[in-house]
Structure 1
Amino acid sequence: MAMALRRLLLPLLLLVLLGLRPQSCVASGGGGGEPAEFEIPRDGSVLELDESNFEAAVRAAEFLFVDFYAPWCGHCKRLAPQLDEAAAVLAGLSTPVLVAKVNADKYKKLGSKYGVDGFPTLMFFDHGVPSEYTGSRKADVLVENLKKLVAPDVSVLESDSSINGFVQAAGINFPLFIGFGMDESLIVEYGAKYKKKAWFSTAKDFSEDVMVVYDFDKVPALVSVNPKYNEQSVFYGPFEGTFLEDFIRQSLLPATVPINRETVKLLKDDGRKVVLTILEDESDESSLQLIKVLRSAANANHDLVFGYVGVKQWEEFTETFDVKVSQLPKIVVWDTKEEYEVVEGSESFIEGDYGSQVSRFLEGYREGRTTKKKVGRGSPTLLGLNAVYILVLLVAVLVVLMYFSAQGEEDHQPRRAHED
């Protein structure tokens, strides 16, 4: 009798023990139960995710940055050490960002769900809401960009020390806007709208020393600081209508913009036409004098952006404007797309009185004494002349590869890779 009872109780005991077994910390629950809780690592390493734990990680992390990669992708291999470096810093922030990666060539369902059509594709998840990240992939700049994304739309500063802390934490890669004596409601809309492009704050309590440092003498005042270009300006209003946003939008760029691959994108987003000065070498003494004059002109002509570029610094870009070195400096008005205008009688400048020459150029432009021309050999926002030749060569190589693939020489053609 006792033996029969033990035989009956033993299976029941085993079932009870199995029911009490702890669940995995990295996998989703199955069978209709609650999903298991994801354990966020604290060591600052890049976490490898897959289809079994990806959604749990998205739910668990307030902020998640994901690299959808492929093992064969060269760009992905070059990105990996940058992510390793950035992950350690991002994990130590007061608002940490978890960095992870997914082999989207293997886990194709995940890649398809999030619109991955090339490698690497970088996604930022803000409380589970995804958006594609297209900014710099260099570790230090990546950290600054993500710090910006996780920061409040508008920070409220209560003292001189909090103002200094805000400025130091913001770094130099983004413009800053500090509203002294301003109600937060005046700029909260723009803090959200321009979140990816600038830092926003309001200062409620500050000393006269701060007023001296930021060069304002009354409130309310919105101070714009562009630490990367060592520029600062003050806006006293009016705060109604479009005046406030116009000031913010115009302050996102320096008074005179050095043209490079990064700033060309900013110019396109800005929407204003560009008074573009093409120099032989933007670092020589004569060019620096002209740039100083352009900065003064920019302060009086806010409907235009003033930019400059040297042939020595970016020859491919300058070639698209039919540049001849003997005619430099050359100044045009560029629409940031496919056209530019030349002012009659002011096609080029001679060394000397740059102030009067810039004034005559602007006067001629305002009066419509211009000739429109097409940007040569493709838009400079996309490809220069040499790059076009390279593209043609790559297309030819691709055609040859496709031919041999059709002949059975190759049995796999990977998807395209996103370029740096």
Structure 2
Amino acid sequence: MMRMGERVSWCWALIVLLALDCSGVVYSSSLSSSSSSSWAVDGKVLELDDSNFDSAISALDLVLVDFYAPWCGHCKRLSPQLDEAAPLLADLKQPVVIAKLNADKFTSLARKYEIDAYPTLKLFMHGVPIEYNGPRKADSLVRYLKKFAAPDVSILESDSAISDFVQAAGTYFPIYIGFGLNESLISKLAIKYKKKAWFSVAKDFSEDVMVLYDFDKVPALASLHPTYNEHNIFYGPYEEEFLEEFIRHSLFPLAMPINYETLKLLNDDERKIVLTIVEDEDEEKSKKLIKILKSAASANRDFVFGYVGIKQWEDFADTFGANKKTRLPKMVVWDRMEEYFTVNGSESIDEEDQASQVSQFLEGYKEGRIIKERIGGPSFMGFMSSFIGIGTVYIIGFMVVVMMLIRSINKGDDEHPAVATGDQIEHASSEAESREHKSGEKED
């Protein structure tokens, strides 16, 4: 029979061991590290497993890893696209290697990298993983990944070089062009934000370029969002503090649609979101309101302005008390966690003079005429997991269960409760692991 102190020690040891397992901590042997120089870039997709995974991502600067399951239909459709892209990416000056891992078989690695759906793609840059949210067709995928193999700052010497750069950059990342700007002023920030944007300096350009990009003096830093047909101009001051503020705030369009992917992009941005809920984003009246939101956003860069249509994401809109019976459009300020705020007297926006109503909403919020609300609805776990990862949610839940077990043991000490057998403990651990890793499928 165990004494209370022994039981508590045993439980804490169990917590530590299971926590390590849930977070996917994997021991890398000296044999793996010693083979880091054996990887060849030959244009083929590498097949990784738990014995060589760490070695590969350590030895290769840029690796796109496809975490797949053999039974997954979307994975089977993605595979030939990766096969087609692999030789093209291998030929780059700084090669990008494509690899795949059977996450359904090597579950410890799947847990370590919080793989909760198949296929999941992650780009490893010098061993550090980032979520891949780009296209999955071969030609577009190659174009997207060239960004990560490009120079930190591209030097453009002519009008044609500027045009070629913008065209090659594509539409997936914002583009920064410093016209007449010293490269040294943005090189540090270009490295810092390399994962999120293209950076360049134009040394020589004509007046036609100045007209095209809508600036009338130099130096000037232009930010472009090709997807949204949007650009902004910064004339200084060029101290790092102000320059970084412009770059950081210009990473997103003035008003952006809110969906699963854009929520992930906003993960590192600490600003609150001024969220406008409409019936349908694609309606003409919604497009007119979005133009007004962009004007408001340009004067209020301390917020992120976003919009969502009930037709586009009904469950998400419902978490803010907006549905087909609600008077729309509706504006709220969301802290991106569990609370949001409405403004007294500005619960909805009428069709007449919407610009004034948007201004009144913002003024009311800043003056404190607000009502605090709590998020509800069925999709809360869905969009929250976009920020913290569903694997983390399961780990937290599992730890709570174990803590309740400890409390139960301590509470029943005087009654000398039976001690769980080794088989019972192993069975409970297996059930918890099974619950933790039930992966779905991601669409291409």
TM tier relative to shorter chain: 0.7 to 0.9
Partner of 1:283: 282
Within a 5 Å distance, the mapping from 1:126-165 to structure 2 comes to: 126=125, 129-136=126-133, 138-140=135-137, 142-165=141-164
Aligned counterpart for 2:384 among listed residues 382, 385, 406: 382
- 1:185-226 deviation digits (Å, cap 9, x = unpaired): 211121111111110111112222211211112111100011
What secondary structure does 1:307 align onto? strand
Aligned-pair RMSD on alpha carbons?
3.8
Distance 1:329 1:106 in 2: 48
Bigger CA drift: 224-233 or 145-154? 145-154
Give structure 2 stretches of 5+ with no counterpart.
1-30, 398-423
Q: Structure 1 length normalisation: TM-score? A: 0.75
What secondary structure does 1:263 align onto? helix
What secondary structure does 2:83 align onto? helix
Query: Relative contact order: is structure 1 or structure 2 higher (C-alpha 8 Å, sep ≥ 6)?
Result: 2
Partner of 1:340: 340
Partner of 1:40: 41
What secondary structure does 1:67 align onto? strand
Equivalent pair of 1:124/1:130 in contact (CA under 8 Å): no
Distance 1:58 1:263 in 2: 27
Percent identity between matched residues is: 55
Post-superposition shift, 1:145?
A: 4.0
Post-superposition shift, 1:334?
A: 1.1
Distance 1:300 1:104 in 2: 47
Post-superposition shift, 1:266?
A: 2.5
What secondary structure does 1:147 align onto? helix
Partner of 1:200: 199
Within a 5 Å distance, the mapping from 1:405-420 to structure 2 comes to: 416-417=438-439, 420=442
What secondary structure does 1:166 align onto? helix
Equivalent pair of 1:180/1:204 in contact (CA under 8 Å): yes
Equivalent pair of 1:336/1:381 in contact (CA under 8 Å): no
Q: 1:417 to 1:381 in 2, by over 3 A?
A: closer
Choose between structure 1 and 2: higher helix proportion. 2
- 1:276-321 deviation digits (Å, cap 9, x = unpaired): 1111112222222222211211121111222111111110110001
Post-superposition shift, 1:227?
A: 0.4
Partner of 1:170: 169
Equivalent pair of 2:134/2:172 in contact (CA under 8 Å): no
Distance 2:227 2:96 in 1: 25
Distance 1:212 1:145 in 2: 28
Give structure 1 stretches of 5+ with no counterpart.
1-29, 396-402
Report how many aligned residue pairs link the two structures. 365
Within a 5 Å distance, the mapping from 1:349-368 to structure 2 comes to: 349-368=349-368
Equivalent pair of 1:279/1:287 in contact (CA under 8 Å): yes
Equivalent pair of 1:154/1:202 in contact (CA under 8 Å): yes
Post-superposition shift, 1:54?
A: 6.9
What secondary structure does 2:256 align onto? strand
Equivalent pair of 2:340/2:374 in contact (CA under 8 Å): yes
Partner of 1:315: 314
Partner of 2:188: 189
- 1:39-83 deviation digits (Å, cap 9, x = unpaired): 4324xx423356898788668755333335554566654542342
Distance 1:280 1:54 in 2: 47
Distance 2:362 2:103 in 1: 53
Post-superposition shift, 1:273?
A: 1.4
Partner of 1:329: 329
